[in-house]
Amino acid sequence: MKKIFVLMTLMLSFSVAAVIDVYDFETEEQEALFRTLTAELRCPKCQNNNLADSNASIAKDMRQKTYNMVVDGKEEDEIVTYWIDRFGNFVLYKPPVTLGTAILWVGPGLFILFGGLIIVRNSRRKVSVETDDRDEELSSAEKDRLAKILKDSEK
Amino acid sequence: MTNDVKKKKQLMTRLIPLIVFLCVSIFLYIGLFRDATVLESTFIGRPVPEFALNDLVEPELQHDKSVLSGKPMLLNVWATWCPTCYSEHKYLNELAEDGVYIVGMNYKDERKKALKWLDELDNPYKISLYDPDGMLGLDLGVYGAPETFFIDSKGIIQYKHVGDINPRNWNGELKAVYEQLK
Amino acid sequence: MIPEIGHFSLIVATALSFLLAIYPLIGAKINHPGMINSAKPLAIMQFLLMSLSFAVLAYSFATDDFSVGYVATNSNSLLPIQYKISAVWGGHEGSLLLWSLTLAIWTAAVAVFSRGIPKVALARVLSVMGMIAIGFNLFILLTSNPFDRTLPYLPLDGNDLNPLLQDVGLIFHPPMLYMGYVGFSVAFSFAIAALMAGRLDSAWARWSRPWTLVAWVFLTAGIALGSWWAYYELGWGGWWFWDPVENSSFMPWLAGTALIHSLAVSEKRGVFKSWTVLLSIAAFSLSLLGTFLVRSGVLVSVHAFASDPARGLFILAFLIAVVGGSLLLFAVKGSEIKSRGKYGLFSRETFLLVNNVLLIAALLVVLIGTLLPLVHKELGMGSISIGVPFFNNIFFYMIIPFAIALGVAPLLRWKKQEADLRPLFKQLAVIAVASIVLAVALPAIFADKIKIVAVIGFALAFWVIITSALEVYIRATHRHSFASGVIKLGRSHWAMVLGHVGLAMMLIGISATQNYKIEKDLRMLPGDEVVFADYLFEFERIAESNGANYEGYEAVFKVSKNGKFETVLRAEKRNYLAQRGMPMTEAAIDWGITRDLYIALGEQLKDDSWAIRIYYEPFIRFIWWGGLVMAIGGLLAVSDRRYRFVNKRVAKAQ
């Protein structure tokens, strides 16, 4: 078992271009909060990166400022509001719940509702749905051919 | 009769995917002619925030938000590490000579390099702010350079332009914005 | 001279696409055998010419022909040969040529391997595929030609392939994805051909299904490969970012998964036909939409190709023509499609349809989530971002009914379940309890906290696994003892089991990493050590480590668990001499069945200590292994006896 385990733990090394900032936190909650924030805040300048993954100088500044606020004891909502105040909703990966964004939830929700209704309706149908007659019935010529084939295969 | 009505209803239902698709296509078409990376400013109609920054040329001198009110002006965010700022600078000189009041904010830069630049390329700025750690930049929602804020005499930001100011966009729309500042 | 041959082949292939699109279709309309039969040779010729064109481009890369602009932009004389070849699809123009070649491959395959299909129907199918080829080939010739020359200038050397792309994962990821995207064009063409002909019998589903399955297998594998690559290459310990380009691949996958299930039902039971046709159109349409989103610059993404409004316009026009045309055809001719048969509320059909609805609802979530920022901004409502927190949250809620229904469906009969459902409910209740117990036991063993969200995920996974096992048992013991019954179970049955179990494995991996992943950024000096997740990481030493084309540092860590030695990890930081100074970090990963340990070396800090990032990722491999198991399931389904191309009469005569 140990041998298999050792065999399985292969060592691999691959390329990466991430940036690692080291911040010291007093408590685990603060560290967790910082990680959550830098993951859900978006770098205003980059090509779709969150604050944690970006090398851009604006992202570094925002990380530093976020760290300062976390260590100061600010709550998640306060910090998020701080950034939205300066950069708009763009900077948060969670969309605001407004009339304009309602379709995100309403669209799929309505689809599920209608889909469910159609399923229930179709299953309640007493009579078969219209049939494709061409599928079901054979012409008399085809019936003859079928009889001949069946007869042949019995030989 | 009802069979016909039913057939029509079914046709209408089957047309829904097509209609939805065509609506989406309109938005996709419009999107082709827009720059997806430009972020609009949250400060339009809001006053300049409080700040305390030293002057670029005279390090002892401190400025606060009062330098950004009193008359219509441009606040130009620039840096020596920004190549577009270099190409913008000459035109800013021309605008300054034409009477446009421009305040400069040197953003995340080194004082010595910035002073050398202004020395060599002329200085269009009536006042030069020095923001080495980008804190005022953050408070204004600056995310790169060059950016220019159009501020009215009450210190309210009326417009933000991302990217360089050049003859084309100045004469195109920016001049009108500036002239409308009260 | 040689690049011109490639260019010329492409032009001739385009001419053939025109012929293929028009000639057999007219032949089908007027029932002219000669024109109908021209489809197959045209498809094969098109394939041969596209292959030649592509081979010439590859040759230009292999021989460092920098007079070809595309080669100069994407290659370099020092690039290892395998990356010179993969650089062919490293940029926009070449990747489009690959797209077109892939389409030619599928078209020829359909032409050759379709003995059971009436020639008239086949002619229509191939014509539709020819129409698609026209679009892509014209796009290449008119806006994105990889054969454009730089002459009279001749660059001394090329710009080199982006270092991030110089990796084995990225050699295979695009071709597999394209095989998937383009493969859905087959189901699409079958649907369009059927709509054109005005009839859709059950045979249509039987013909379409194996092609769709193969495409789905490639797409599944391609996405899993991309995810795995992002994890080990980019150093953020994540495997999916809900980036617009990633979403562009996930949407056709969702439609494709719904489609392969819907096709199965249409084939077997003759129902859902209209829905299946719509899904066939949707899957390929989403592939095309993805192509547009990735290359037009309309959405912001790290993955996107360099954009150009002219190119975007062309693709959009093509998209509107193909998708708009097919949806119009569906609206107008869709009434010809009738489904016969009915099914009860507690039938397999119902539950398959429920999951179809959920899959498409998930598709809508991704589609709306990806496009809404664009629409929102254009409507003047400001910029918003929709990313990981939103998608993860919604998908968590949607997977719950989905996995539950998935477990139940195979246990139900077709058409109608027996009158008394109580025995089944009893079994399900027992399985539900067992799943929850196991779901609590798992984190109790490997972690220190029991998190509800994780338990739900694990419970769903165990639910799927146990119901699958029960179903196998019931099916095997239906008429035989278990041992002899199991052997008799067909491949397509095992395909279903593997497909579902693969999903369960992914659920385990996702639930574990989302909730129990540990990430630490530390400053460490040689001699320092840190403990977490029962592992002791000792920073032994740091040393210079230089290579042929780079200079750097290597940090050596000794890892032990509960006192016993586990492994040695060497994390590096390299400055490639050819690159402009951005240091590349080579992360060290110790992968295992139950966890990955991941160390990345950062910069040296002011106090001479080093920035070190360490991840502990429990069960993360299950995510990609699960994807692989799903893909294998798909392969099994295709290899089922029914799809063998042996002529049955021949076999019988022997």
Q: Does residue B15 sit at the C interface (CB-CB below 8 Å)? A: yes
A16: part of which helix (H) or strand (E)? strand A10-16
Chain A neighbours, 3+ Cβ pairs < 8 A: B, C
Does the beta-carbon distance from B10 to C335 stay under 8 Å? yes
Least confident of B39-48, B102-111, C156-165, C284-293: C156-165
Identify the H or E element spanning C499.
Answer: helix C491-516
Whether the CB of B6 is below 8 Å from some CB of chain C: the reply is no
In chain B, % of residues over pLDDT 90? 83
DSSP code, position C568: E
Which is nearest to B130 in space by CA: B63, B65, B54? B54
Helices (H), C379-490: 388-408, 422-446, 452-476, 482-488
Q: Which residue has the tokens 């700022």?
A: B85
Chain C interface test: which of A7, A11, A20, A42 (most C C-beta within 10 Å): A20
pLDDT grade, residue C578 (50/70/90)? low
C605 touches A: beta carbon within 8 Å = yes
Alpha-helix runs per DSSP H in C31-146: 33-37, 39-62, 69-74, 81-86, 92-112, 119-143
Do residues B94 and B17 both lie within one domain? no
**What pLDDT sits at residue A154?**
55
Taking each helix axis as running N to C, give the angle between helix C273-296 and helix C348-378, from 0 to 180 degrees, rounded to the nearest 10: 30
- Checking if the pLDDT of B107 tops 80, the result is yes
Residue C568's closest CA among C546, C542, C592, C538?
C538
Where does the pLDDT of residue A14 fall: very low under 50, low under 70, confident under 90, or very high at 90 and above? Answer: very low
Residues B86 and B124 in one domain: yes
Q: Which of A124-138, B3-17, B52-66, C8-22 has the highest mean pLDDT?
A: C8-22
CB-CB under 8 Å, A61 with B141: no
Task: Name the 3-class secondary structure at C594.
Answer: coil
B64 and B149 share one domain: yes
Spans of all domains in chain A: 2-91, 102-154
Query: Is B139 in Cβ contact with A86 (below 8 Å)?
Result: yes
B30 touching C (Cβ < 8 Å): yes
C-alpha closest to that of A63 among A26, A27, A29, A34: A34
Average pLDDT rounded to a whole number, residues A18-29? 83
Could you tell me how many helices (H) and strands (E) chain B has, helices first?
6, 7
Residue B41: inside a domain: no
Chain A residues close to B36, C-beta within 8 Å: none
Q: Are C601 and C555 in contact (CB under 8 A)?
A: yes
| C602: closest CA of chain A, how far (Å) | 6
C528 interfaces chain A, CB cutoff of 8 Å: no
Under 8 Å between Cβ of C634 and C220: yes
Task: Please answer yes or no on whether A12 and C232 come within 8 Å at the CB atom.
Answer: yes
Q: What is the pLDDT of residues C42-71, one digit of tens each?
A: 999 999 999 999 999 999 999 999 999 999
**Closest chain C residue to A117, measured at CA:** C354
State chain A's mean pLDDT as an integer.
Answer: 79
The domain of B28 spans 1-34
CB-CB under 8 Å, B134 with A58: yes
Question: Is B5 in CB contact (< 8 Å) with chain C?
Answer: no
Which of C202, C234, C339, C385 should one mutate to test binding to chain A, selecting the residue with the greatest count of A CBs within 10 A? C385
Query: Which residues in C lie closer than 8 A to residue A47 (C-beta atoms)?
Result: 300-302, 304
At residue C124, the pLDDT reads 95
Do residue C375 and residue B14 have CB atoms under 8 angstroms apart?
no
B87 falls within a domain: yes
Average pLDDT over residues C334-341: 74
pLDDT per residue as tens digits for the range C368-383 = 999 999 999 999 999 9
Instruction: Select the residue of A84, A85, A90 nearest B39 (Cβ to Cβ).
Output: A90
- pLDDT attached to residue C167: 82
Mean of the per-residue pLDDT values of chain B: 92
**What average pLDDT does this structure show over B15-19?**
94
Nearest to C271 by CA among A129, B17, A114, A118: A129
A65 touching B (Cβ < 8 Å): yes
Residue B174: give its domain's CATH number. 3.40.30.10
Question: Residue C53: which of C96, C108, C92, C10 has the closest Cα?
Answer: C10
Cβ neighbours for B102, distance < 8 A, ≥ 6 positions apart: B73, B74, B75, B76, B92, B95, B96, B124, B125, B126
Q: Which of B143-147, C158-162, C449-453, C541-545 has the lowest mean pLDDT?
A: C158-162
Helix (H) or strand (E) holding A135: helix A133-136
User: pLDDT category, C403, cuts 50, 70, 90?
Assistant: very high
**8 Å CB contact of A86 and B140:** yes
pLDDT higher than threshold 50 for residue B94 = yes
* Domain presence at residue B14: yes
Show Cβ contacts of residue B131 under 8 Å, excluding neighbours closer than 6 positions: B53, B105, B106, B107, B108, B137
B100 shares a domain with B151: yes
- Same domain for B117 and B152, yes or no, is yes
Distance from CA of A141 to the nearest CA of C (A): 20
Which of A104-113, C84-93, C549-558 has the lowest average pLDDT? C549-558
Residue C599: helix, strand or coil by DSSP? strand
Q: Torsions phi, psi of C561, nearest 5?
A: -125, 125
Q: Which residues of C touch A19 (CB under 8 A)?
A: 602
Distance of CA A58 to the CA centre of its chain: 27
Fold of A2-91: Helicase, Ruva Protein; domain 3 (1.10.8)
Instruction: Please compute the mean of the pLDDT values over residues C96-113 and round it to a whole number.
Output: 96
Q: Please tell me whether residue C555 adopts helix, strand or coil conformation.
A: strand
> How far C307 CA sits from the closest chain B CA (Å)?
10
Residues B57, B83 within the same domain: yes
Q: How far apart (Å, rounded) are the C-alpha atoms in residues C436 and C438?
A: 5
Q: How confident is the model at residue B35 (pLDDT cuts 50, 70, 90)?
A: confident
How far, in Å, CA of C530 to CA of C548, rounded?
33
CA distances from C618 to C450, C594, C595, C596 (A): 14, 6, 4, 6
Q: Which residues in chain B (73-112) have CB-CB distances under 8 A to chain C?
A: none
Quote the minimal CA–CA distance from C345 to chain B in Å: 23
pLDDT range class, residue A134, cuts 50, 70, 90: very low
pTM: 0.91
Query: Model confidence at C290, in pLDDT bands (50, 70, 90)?
Result: very high
Distance CA B79, CA B162 (A): 14
Q: What is the mean pLDDT of residues C309-314?
A: 90
Residues B72 and B122 in one domain: yes
DSSP letter (8 states) at residue A95: P
Number of residues assigned to chain A: 155
Weakest mean pLDDT among B55-64, C115-124, C291-300, C416-425: C416-425
Ramachandran angles phi, psi of C437, nearest 5° = -60, -50
For β-strands B73-78 and B62-63, DSSP reports them as unpaired
Same domain for B92 and B176, yes or no, is yes
Question: Is B40 inside any structural domain?
Answer: no
Query: In sequence order, what DSSP letters do the residues of C535-546 get, joined into one string?
Result: EEEEEEEEEE--
Would you say residue B20 has pLDDT above 90?
yes
State how far the Cα of C202 lies from the Cα of C209, in Å rounded to an integer: 11
B116-132 confidence digits (pLDDT tens): 999 999 999 999 999 99
Is pLDDT at C396 greater than 90 in this prediction? Answer: yes
CB C415 within 8 A of CB A125: no
Give the one of B37, B108, B138 whose C-beta lies nearest to A86's C-beta. B138
Contacts of C538 (CB under 8 A, 6+ apart): C528, C529, C557, C558, C559, C560
- Does residue B81 belong to the interface with chain A, where contact is any CB pair within 8 Å? no
The pLDDT of residue A1: 42
B18 to chain C, any CB pair closer than 8 A? The answer is yes
Return the H-helix or E-strand segment holding C557: strand C550-561
Which positions 262-281 of C are in contact with B (Cβ < 8 Å)? 278
B131 and B176, same domain (yes or no)? yes
Write out chain C residues lying below 8 Å of B25, CB-based: 316, 319-320, 324
User: What per-residue confidence (pLDDT) applies to A20?
Assistant: 76
Q: Do C323 and B21 touch (CB under 8 A)?
A: yes
Based on the domain organization, do B7 and B63 belong to the same domain?
no
Of B42, B133, B134, the CB nearest to A88: B42
Q: List pLDDT tens digits, range C140-190.
A: 999 999 999 988 888 888 887 877 788 888 899 999 999 999 999 999 999
- Is B58 within a domain? yes
**What's the number of domains chain B is made of?**
2
Chain C hits for A131, CB-CB cut-off 8 Å, are: 338, 340
In this predicted structure, the answer to whether residue C23 has a pLDDT above a threshold of 60 is yes
Q: Under a CB-based contact definition with an 8 Å cutoff, are residues A39 and C257 in contact?
A: no
Which of helix, strand or coil describes residue C597? strand
Top-confidence residue, A44 or A16: A44
Q: Tell me what pLDDT residue C310 has.
A: 87
User: Which ipTM was obtained for this model?
Assistant: 0.91
Whether B17 sits inside 8 A of C296 (CB atoms) is no
91-130 of A, contacting B, C-beta below 8 A: none
Q: Are residues B131 and B168 in the same domain?
A: yes
Which residues of A are less than 8 Å from C581 in CB distance? none
